[in-house]
Amino acid sequence: MTFANLLTPDNQNIKKDDLRFYLFSTQLYLLCLIIHAALIVFFFLIKVYLMTIFNLFSCILFASVVIINKRGLLNLAYHLALIEITIHSSFATLCLGWQSNFCFYSVAICSVIMFTTFLKLYIKLIEIALSSFLYLFTYGYIIKHSTLYNADVFHINIIGFVNIIVMISLLTSIFYRFFLETSILNDKLKTAAETDSLTGAYNRRFFNEYVDIEAKRLLSELNYTTESKHQINFGIAIIDIDNFKKINDTYGHLVGDNVLIEVVEIIKKSIFSRDLICRYGGEEFVVLFTRTSKDGAIIASEKIRKEVEQHRFIFNDEIKNGQITISIGFACFDENMSYNIESILQLADKRLYTAKASGKNKLIYE
């Protein structure tokens, strides 16, 4: 289901970055509503009527919180729930004592506060300080005075056991969500560091790292295998879009960006998934053919050139069958006996220059 499909006329103000928190918090508030409804019945049966009334108000509050949250007022709903849980757990501890284990909700509260993404750090620290102060006050009161209710020990132990289970489940869920968020963020950072944001091709930094690893792998195979070089060789094709500056100057940079994107898509369709394409410069791309013979890489490069030439680009409302061409310089790993990547790149770049200087729309490979 897409982000847009999850929104209703009431919660259009929810940002895409807050969607996961919205979904998680909605489930959590509904769970709190169910738990408090069950506590109404439980406390009524054991005749702790003050807690019965308190949980009745808690149910009303959490029903309101669910509605507020669904309307996209995430901050307001969050703070109302935070206040309720903090006061409720402190009051329940005053009524039933520490053995009821309501005090453990303070740990969960602090965890929720710290993992909340839309709060500033100083606000988080203030909320944790206020929550901690309330529990210290509760602790001091119980030491000096007795609990408000002398409930049956068996019932207290049941409540304490249930609260421990709830706390373990809640904290596990919180930390799991935090792990997922961290994993998603790391993937985004990795993608941003390795790929070109416009075309989706790998960037030059990633290419330089990858080609170095690939070269070391190949050299290792050359030293320890009996296979002939052409069976384990790889080649590099440098591709440049002909007259790209003219396209930008004539039709605008947005059209130029679309041309870059479409060219990358054409290249991706013409190579194997094991091969690598990167954006090496403004309109310049490099394709690394891995575990491909020289003849196979040349055939693939020529196919890329023809596919781009035959593709029809939309330049504007009048020109919907625009044509562009590319020039390609290709070099193979076994053409440089020192197996120096820089030398191979220079050889491919030199052949690209020859292709551009001799009329463009060409593949030069020797």
The answer to whether residue 232 scores a pLDDT higher than 80 is no
State mean pLDDT over 141-159.
80
Assigned token pair, 39: 């506590």
What total number of domains does the chain contain?
2
Please say if 318 is a catalytic residue.
no
Give the angle subtended at the CA of 23 by the CAs of 17 and 134, to the nearest 5°: 95
> Do 257 and 176 belong together in one domain?
no
> Do 177 and 260 belong together in one domain?
no
- List Cα–Cα distances, 331 to 101, 124, 210, 237, 278, in angstroms: 71, 58, 17, 7, 16
Task: Give the C-alpha separation, 288 to 139, whole Å.
Answer: 67
> Do 172 and 298 belong together in one domain?
no
Sheet holding 202-203, edge to edge: 202-203, 276-279, 284-289, 235-241, 326-332, 363-364
Check residue 353 and give its pLDDT.
94
Q: For residue 227, what is the domain's CATH number? A: 3.30.70.270
The one catalytic residue in 84, 194, 214, 283 is 283
260 touches 251 (CB < 8 A): no
Q: What is the pTM (predicted TM-score) of this model?
A: 0.60
State mean pLDDT over 59-76.
89
Which among 128, 155, 187 is the end of a domain?
187
> Do 258 and 156 belong together in one domain?
no
* 255 part of a folded domain: yes
Residue 343, domain extent: 202-364
Between 139 and 19, the higher pLDDT residue? 139
Check residue 9 and give its pLDDT.
47
Which of 45-59, 198-212, 228-242 shows the lowest mean pLDDT across its residues? 228-242
> Do 106 and 209 belong together in one domain?
no
294 touches 336 (CB < 8 A): no
The answer to whether residue 177 scores a pLDDT higher than 60 is yes
The answer to whether residue 146 scores a pLDDT higher than 70 is yes
Between 322 and 325, the higher pLDDT residue? 325
Residue 22: closest CA among 60, 68, 58: 68
